[in-house]
Amino acid sequence: MTIEIELKLQLPKAQNRRFKQWLKTNLPHAEGPALEHQVSIYYDTQALDLAHQGMGLRLRRQGNHWIQTLKLRQLAGAGLHQHQEFDTLVSGQTLELNHLDPGPASDFLCSPAIHGALKPLFQTDIKRNTWMVTREPDTRIEIALDSGYIISGTRSQPINEIELELIQGDLQAVYDLGEQLAQHLRMALQHRNKAEQGYLLYVGHVKQPVPTHPPEPLLSPLTESRQAMQTIALANLQYLQDQLSGVLTMPELLEPVHQAHVALRRLRSLRKAFSKVVGHERWNALLPDLQWLMEKIGQVRDLDVFLEEILYPMEQIPAFKSPLAPIRQLVNEQRHQRFEELDWAISSARTTILLLRLLAWITLPLPQQTSPSLERLAHQALERTQKKVHRSIHDLSLLSAEQRHTLRKDLKTLRYSVEFFASLFKQHSVKRYLQPMQALQTSLGSLNDSRSAKNLIDLLLQQQPELSSATDLILGWIAHKESQANQQAEAATYLWIKTKPCW
């Protein structure tokens, strides 16, 4: 058995020559390249039982030999892939599961229901160039450039990626090398391995689907606090990457922009919830780039909210449609410009390096320290955040717009923290606690969107004062929405304050 730890990076095929030249110039002592043609066949059942268990089973042709490999996921997501790997030399292009070491994985695969149902689902046909790099006396990294195809039935998908595999030594060196490459080449983190991409192709997804709900990892009270943080953070970082990819590949969809903003907020909330088991120095170094990306996303999101939540409902009133047409045209133009800026930002080296550093913040070990149990950490984090919210929530009518905005952010932190730890508590208690909180958050969010809309109107009037009659219509509509939102917020506050915490 070996432990495989690797970082995967997508590279446009047109950049392959530049990548090889970069290696020759910057890593002149690298051993290689070694050239290899790999054909791998991946097996599972029709119901994808192995994938659901976090297993991967393949046969790979290497030269004149076939290698059977069983992979068991340990820690994976957002570009970092860590697996237990069991390799067996087999006699031909046939699975030989009887050669697996005894254990739960072997028992599962050899059970009649699974063994009899295994079949090839897809295969990869890859030309691999491999280099070996020694970064320090005790650190060795294998660099691989894989170029080829994933094939399932009549469907195929090109693949071109770099793998940085830690053979020996310090994982930090892998991240450092990834950053160096990102500064010189147009690349992105690849958070799905070849098997995961193959499964998507097998089930018929031409474009990778964009999830619409944040992940909800299951935790056990026995899970170590640091491990729980890593599990949740990796899932949320992968969710962020899914949304950023959706923004680039499906620009006609509005939801990926909003969900990318949510994913960043959740990561910031996670850092607060797990403050006792995270690296604060690394996090503080990330903040300028995090804020920059959030602003780029937020600018597009605010315009989408104005167009969809304010302007569109007003346009359903026939008398309003014509006066509002110049406003829609102006805002659409602004949205197009801001979206182009966001597209550039997501594709930039700055974002790739930010994602790499977030991944390093999550996965690199901290100095040895005593940490509280997961249940104790959860109780302390939730109590602390709830008290902060309670201090400012009792009389919403007395809060300024800025204070309401701060309250809304604190409430989001509390809600996300409850969702992080939800699997530790009784589900009916979690649902009862979150329901009025979500209603309150929605009302406060509506008030904040109204505030952003009024700021946008001020800017529009500076550009074109002749639009004042149309903007007066919008301001009247906003005032009505604000009145409704204030009433709803008061009612939701009353219900939520009376609700018993779920922890």
Give 467 or 369, the one with higher predicted confidence: 467
Residue in the structure block whose two tokens are 């620009």? 251
CA distance 104 to 366: 32
Give 431 or 395, the one with higher predicted confidence: 431
CA distance 108 to 376: 35
Using pLDDT thresholds of 50, 70 and 90, give the confidence band for residue 399: confident
Give the model confidence (pLDDT) of 205-254 as tens digits.
655 556 778 888 888 899 899 999 999 999 999 899 989 988 988 888 89
Bridge partners (DSSP) listed for residue 73: 83
- Phi, psi (deg, nearest 5) at residue 66: -115, 130
pLDDT, position 210: 65
| For residue 82, pLDDT beyond 70 | no
Provide the residue ranges of all domains of the chain, joining segments of one domain with +.
2-206, 238-365+373-498
Contact 207, 248 (CB under 8 A): no
Using pLDDT thresholds of 50, 70 and 90, give the confidence band for residue 4: low
Class of 238-365+373-498 in CATH: mainly alpha
Residue in the structure block whose two tokens are 């969702």? 419
Give 3 or 230, the one with higher predicted confidence: 230
| For residue 184, pLDDT beyond 80 | yes
| For residue 149, pLDDT beyond 50 | yes
CA neighbor of 31 nearest in space, from 140, 131, 164, 141: 131
Residue 453: count of CB within 10 angstroms of its CB? 22
Contact 189, 79 (CB under 8 A): yes
**Residue 15, SS3 per DSSP:** helix
Quote the mean pLDDT of the chain.
Answer: 89
Bridge partners (DSSP) listed for residue 8: 163
Using pLDDT thresholds of 50, 70 and 90, give the confidence band for residue 72: confident
CA distance 133 to 29: 7
- Phi, psi (deg, nearest 5) at residue 146: -105, 125
Q: Which letter, b or e, does each residue of 26-63 get, where b requires 16 or more Cβ atoms within 10 Å of its Cβ?
A: ebeebeebeeeebbbbbbbbeeebbbebebbbbbbeee
pLDDT, position 157: 92
pLDDT, position 83: 62
- CATH code for 2-206? 2.40.320.10
- Picking from 133-137, 294-298, 409-413, which range would have the lowest pLDDT averaged per residue? 133-137
| For residue 394, pLDDT beyond 60 | yes
Using pLDDT thresholds of 50, 70 and 90, give the confidence band for residue 75: low
Element at 44 (helix H, strand E) = strand 31-44
CA distance 355 to 362: 11
What mean pLDDT is predicted for residues 287-308? 96
Give the model confidence (pLDDT) of 444-453 as tens digits.
999 999 999 9
CA distance 233 to 228: 8
| For residue 40, pLDDT beyond 90 | yes
- Picking from 43-57, 201-215, 395-409, which range would have the lowest pLDDT averaged per residue? 201-215
| For residue 42, pLDDT beyond 90 | yes
CA distance 146 to 16: 10
pLDDT, position 205: 61
CA distance 144 to 146: 6
Residue in the structure block whose two tokens are 């607060």? 272
Contact 108, 131 (CB under 8 A): no
Residue in the structure block whose two tokens are 């007395």? 398
CA neighbor of 232 nearest in space, from 263, 270, 260, 280: 270
- Distance linking the first and last C-alpha atoms of the chain: 41
pLDDT, position 1: 42
Residue 392: Cβ-neighbour burial (10 angstroms; 0-12, 13-18, 19+): middle
Contact 478, 334 (CB under 8 A): no
pLDDT above 70 as % of the chain:
96
Q: SS in 3 state form for 382-449?
A: HHHHHHHHHHHHCCHHHCCHHHHHHHHHHHHHHHHHHHHHHHHCCHHHHHHHHHHHHHHHHHHHHHHH
pLDDT, position 78: 45
State the amino acid at position 382 in one-letter form.
L
